[in-house]
Amino acid sequence: MALWEGIVRDDPDRAMPFFFPLRAYEKVKDVADPAADWKRRLVNAFRRDVHALHGHLGEAAGAARLLSLDVPTARAQWVEPGEEWNKIGYFRVFGSRLRYEWKGESRTIEVRSLISWRGEWYVVHLNAVR
């Protein structure tokens, strides 16, 4: 999975295929310059978070094995137009978890916010919403 590989290798570019796409963001968000907001705010935060999560893994980074991304789809909520500076509605879910194993022990990393776009879940915020 691209997100996990990006975290383990401390390479945000490798994780970008799992990040909410610019074209989708431009269609969804009702902000003055969605492309600039996406790049300056969201992508920069995502890049920082990938580096921080890599640091959090520490010595586990090279030896950790991804088990799953657990998305609590039953908790997904429909976000109405206008609720989160959006032009159109979408499904959003908080509290997904990357489950991994390190030295025989199961551990998790929280993924704060995913948005569904055309049937696929994408990261919008790895850590706290900024």
DSSP single-letter state for residue 41 = I
DSSP single-letter state for residue 67 = E
pLDDT exceeds cutoff 60 at 44: yes
Residue 128 has a pLDDT of 54
What percent of the chain is predicted at pLDDT more than 90? 88
Question: CB within 8 A of 129, min separation 6: which ones?
Answer: 112, 113
What would the mean pLDDT of 9-22 be, rounded to a whole number? 97
What would the mean pLDDT of 96-124 be, rounded to a whole number? 94
Distances (CA, A) of 31 to 13, 38, 47, 126: 25, 10, 22, 21
Amino acid at 18: F
Residue 41 has a pLDDT of 94
pLDDT exceeds cutoff 50 at 130: no
DSSP single-letter state for residue 75 = G
Q: In 3-state terms, what secondary structure has residue 73?
A: helix
Residue 4 has a pLDDT of 96
Distances (CA, A) of 13 to 10, 31, 85: 9, 25, 27
Q: What is the rounded average pLDDT for all residues in the chain?
A: 93
Amino acid at 115: I
Question: CB within 8 A of 98, min separation 6: which ones?
Answer: 3, 4, 7, 66, 68, 69, 70, 108, 109, 111
What percent of the chain is predicted at pLDDT more than 70? 98
Contact 90, 116 (CB under 8 A): yes
What would the mean pLDDT of 84-100 be, rounded to a whole number? 95
**Residue located via tokens 């900024």:** 130
Tell whether pTM > 0.85: yes
